[in-house]
Amino acid sequence: MKKEKVHIEYPLSATSKSIIWGAISTPSGLENWFADRVNASDRVFTFIWGKTESRHAEVINYRTHSFIRFHWLDDEEQKTYFELKMDYNELTGDYVLEITDFSEPGEEDDLIDLWNSQIETLRRTNGM
């Protein structure tokens, strides 16, 4: 079955786009909230959770201080990705983190719950 695209937006109370960009695009930033350890070599990031779980993702597109898009290398569907995109709302003066990801049909709520938990960790560890 074809995976379904899921789009979620999270307002952040960050004072700088550089802080957000560092948190979503660098190994050290991602280690603070997304995975226990993150290594990068060229365009491939290795995400490690605990002692045994790891996944590799390739950066397939990015624009500095805007978005980064990854494709899991073990995902058989070539057109799926997860994207972390930051936008600035001039009206409110807040940044918004937009997440685009793909889930199996019927598992959208689980995916949203996972991202909610991850973003809560991002907010707590980075003061957002």
pTM of the shown model: 0.93
Tokens of 56: 């590799």
Scored b (16 or more CB within 10 A) or e, 73-91 reads: eeeeeeebbbbbbbeeeee
Q: pLDDT digits over 31-51, tens only? A: 999 999 999 999 999 999 999
The stretch 10-37 carries a mean pLDDT of 92
Spatial CB neighbours of 39, under 8 Å, sequence gap ≥ 6 = 27, 45, 46, 48
Tell me the CB-side half-sphere exposure of residue 127, using CA atoms within 13 A. Answer: 4
Tokens of 5: 């695209």
Spatial CB neighbours of 91, under 8 Å, sequence gap ≥ 6 = none
